[in-house]
Structures are given as structure tokens and as C-alpha cells.
Structure 1
Amino acid sequence: MAVLPVLEYPDPRLRKVAEPVTEFTDALQATIDDMLDTMYDENGVGLAATQVDFHYRIVVMDFSEERDDPIVFVNPEFEVLDEEPNEFQEGCLSVPGYYEHIYRAAKVKVKALDRYGKAFEMETDELMAVCVQHEIDHLDGKLMVDYLSPLKRNRIKTKLLKAQKQRA
């Protein structure tokens, strides 16, 4: 297992729409394990495969205090169950250091396959509902900054590009 580099906004690879997973191979299992290692190393609660430059429809999450209860969503889809929007302060491993208030559906039903290809569905609300929507956005090439004003989005982009140049 390995910690993978996380792509940072405005990297154009973050805009690539992920492909559905059709085969559950040993290589896929290794990638899922690497994604979990990366999420834990970065202190995230969720990570989409797109964020680590793997363009397949996979999301990993873990909301447990002990960080030992991962959930893997392969080919996830969600249906809004509560139209009332909730405002949450979201962060993103691909937009490091920024937390913004974003409105998302308060409750969703997720349909997905687990890491071995078995179908499941679950209803979620609060933080998990926000995270599901946020991570599936990544699989569709959409980022949390897309919910912000163009001015705010450009400020974040400028600051992140400057920080990236300083690290290089």
C-alpha cells in the first residue's frame, strides 16, 4: 500500500470525468487500498479516485473516530431525498487550506457497488450526505470552487498556483 500524490486545483486532470469500473481485479483492490492510505495520511474523510489521477468511479470515505471503518463506493450514484439545502463548511484535499460554505442537499440515497462488486444502497444525511455529493462531483469533473463566485474562485486559484510554484 502507498500514499499517492493528491492533485491540486487548478490541475486540469481534476476536470476529467471518471469512467465506470467494469472489472474488479487485484490491481483495482490495490488502488482502493492506496486511496484509503492517502485519505488517512491527508486526514481527509473522503477521497475520489480522480483526485489521485485514477479516472475511474471510485470513492472512499471513513467517518469513524478510530479511522478504521472505511466505506468504498464503486460507480456511485445518488438521489436527493430532501430538497431542503444544508449549508456546510467544506474543505477539499485538492483545494488545500480553504474551507468554504457550500449548499448541498440535506439527505441523499446512494447506490453503489462495494469494492468487490456487490451492490448496496444507503440513505445518508448531514456530513456524510455532503461528502457523498462532494466526492461524486469530483468523479464528474466538478470541484467545490465551482460553487463559489468567479472572484473568489480566481483568488483561490491564484494563491494555490503561487504556493505550488514556491514548493517546486
Structure 2
Amino acid sequence: MVSDTDRSPGRPIADLVEELLAAEGPLPIVAAGDPVLRRGAEPFEGQLDAPLLDRFLAALRATMHAAPGVGLAAPQVGVPLRIAVIEDPAPVPEEVRSARGRVPQPYRVLVNPSYEAVGEERAAFFEGCLSVPGWQAVVARHARVRLRGLDARGAVSDEEFAGWPARIVQHETDHLDGTLYLDRAEPRSLSTNEAVARWWAQPTPDRAADALGFRLPG
């Protein structure tokens, strides 16, 4: 795993990425407590040339699949750039799909993304993070957002997301601002993965809110 010293400000990010890609297999995912997750990532402005960027994006995607997860931001592998990837086949029962608005999302690259709420509706569900392994908590997020940024080739992207896809892009963009989902979570909902599977596997967190003593929006 790349140390924080190796991510010193004077070191070219391209060298850091080359070092990461030199190892075989998925990239190591850094966990909460690593300073790189709490610093705002710098905008991507060509720090990686096109071939290296393609290799890095492919490694991010492979790491996301291996974890497995539905999104991964560059800071989660120790690279402080405003780049993330998302992809969600949404292999969930229809009841969950309907309650959470979880529909399949194709592979996307988010470069220098930012989001803003569309409307005032918020939705709360259990959420986890590859950088906070073993835990989940209920997070109230905007039900619909407008995401602006660039794609992998530098083309302007301006799109609205709703339901679970909106949650994914908020979660990953937050990573680029040094924000973890725990910062937005209801503390009383914090549960291990095992506890969620045992007690809170319902499509919505209503039962958890009642039993654990916290309020949901609306």
C-alpha cells in the first residue's frame, strides 16, 4: 500500500499512479483514517497522459468489481485526483428496486464532477463504503441531483440522476471533497454488515429507525 509519505505534495501524481499499476491485481483500497480521504482532491488537468489515464481507469474499474462495489473514487486508492468510476448492474429483488429506485447503471467515468440538488426531496437508506469496511449506516441524501463534469475524454457531461444512481454519484463525488458517508449518516443507525443482514435487510430503513431510535426525513 502506498504510504502517506509517498503521496507527498512534491511527488508527481503520474509517478504515484505508475507505482500503483506496477503491482498485479486490484489496487489497494485505503481505509478511513488515511489523510488522503480527508483532503479535497485536486482537479484533473492532464496530470496523467491519455495512455496512463486509460490504464488507471481500467484499474479503478477492476478494483471496483473485485471489492465488489458500485463506485470507486481515486482518493480511495491513494490518488488525490477528482476522478471516480461508477457501475451498478443492480442485481436486487423487484421490491428493493422499487423502494430504492435502484436501476442498472452503465460504466461511467466522472472527471471533476460536482452536483447540486434538484428539488427538496430527500431519501434515506443504509449505505456502506469500501473505505469503511464492515459497517453501514442510514444516510439521507438528495433524491435527485444534477451532476456536471467531464467524461474520460474531456467531453462535458451534464445529467440528472434520481434514486439509487443519485446516491452513488453523491457518495463518490463526496469522496473527492474529503467527505465520507459517515459525515452525513445518522449515528444511531450505525450497524455492522452482520447486523444489517440479520435485522435491517428490509427495502427501507423504517424498522431500523423505529428500533434504534432515529428519525427519517419526510
Greater per-residue strand proportion: 1
Q: Does 1:88 pair with 2:113?
A: no
* 1:1-168 alignment runs, 5 A limit: 2-23=25-46, 25-64=50-89, 69-148=106-185
Q: TM-score, normalised by structure 2?
A: 0.65
Q: Distance in 2 between matches of 1:6 and 1:54?
A: 10
Structure 1 runs, 4 residues or longer, greater than 3 Å off: 65-69, 148-153
- Give the count of matched residue pairs: 155
Instruction: Say if 1:147 and 1:69 are closer, same or farther in 2 by CA, change over 3 A.
Output: closer
Structure number with greater CO (CA < 8 Å, separation at least 6) is 1
**TM-superposed deviation, 1:148:** 3.8
Contact 2:140 2:185 in 1 (8 A): no
Gaps of at least 5 residues in structure 1 are 157-168
Q: Which moved more, 1:2-11 or 1:133-142?
A: 2-11
Percent same amino acid among aligned pairs?
38
Aligned residue identity for 1:42: A
| Equivalent position of 1:161 in the other structure | none
Q: Distance in 2 between matches of 1:54 and 1:139?
A: 10
Bigger-Rg structure (1/2): 2
Q: Distance in 1 between matches of 2:32 and 2:189?
A: 14
Deviations 1:114-168 (A, max 9, x none): 1111111111011111111111111001101112467888x99xxxxxxxxxxxx
Question: Aligned with 1:122: secondary structure?
Answer: strand
Gaps of at least 5 residues in structure 2 are 1-20, 92-103, 193-218
Q: Distance in 2 between matches of 1:130 and 1:68?
A: 12
